[in-house]
Amino acid sequence: MDRKDMPIGAKFAVIHRAFRRELDASLREMELTGAQFGALRALDRLERERGGEVSQRDIEKLCRSAHPTMTEILKKLEKKGFIEVRPSETDRRRKQIRRTDKARELDRAAFLVDEQTFVKFAADLDETRRASLEEMLDSLVSKVCGEKEGRET
């Protein structure tokens, strides 16, 4: 099938898979799995949104993960030094989870991988076309995330 005949959804899927491959290769170098990175991204989001304590249950909800699965993910992340688990300051029965500086550094590294991958994939585009592509993608992301309608999905 000629790429021009490929449905637009299939094109997005091909690009998504290629980006994931690049990110996964970088994560493997840091001895992380995609699930562990996803939990760290969820924790980052929850920390930024709430500014307070984040529990395992909060991360499970955002990742749509079962309790035993997330328990194992978090144990491995703690052992690798990406998170700290402490008793909650408000409820000693709960544990609060925080990212470490090592996890924050990982965020920067993942952002660089993403940026480098985009530059690699868009190498044949001049600056004007690359900027237009980024604008179009920003517009699509806003639409998909409901930002223009003032709602969150």
Domains of the chain and CATH, by start: 3-145 (1.10.10.10)
Judged against a pLDDT cut of 80, whether residue 146 lies above it is answered with no
- Global pTM exceeds 0.75: no
pLDDT, tens digit (0-9, with 9 covering 90-100), for 134-143: 999 989 988 8
pLDDT, tens digit (0-9, with 9 covering 90-100), for 24-36: 888 888 888 888 9
Helix, coil or strand: residue 83:
strand
109-117's contacts with Cβ under 8 Å and 24+ in sequence apart are: 109/26, 109/30, 110/23, 110/26, 110/27, 110/37, 113/22, 113/23, 113/26, 114/19, 114/23, 117/18, 117/19, 117/22, 117/23
Predicted pLDDT at 1: 59
Arithmetic mean of pLDDT, 87-91:
84
Q: Which residue has the higher pLDDT, 128 or 22?
A: 128
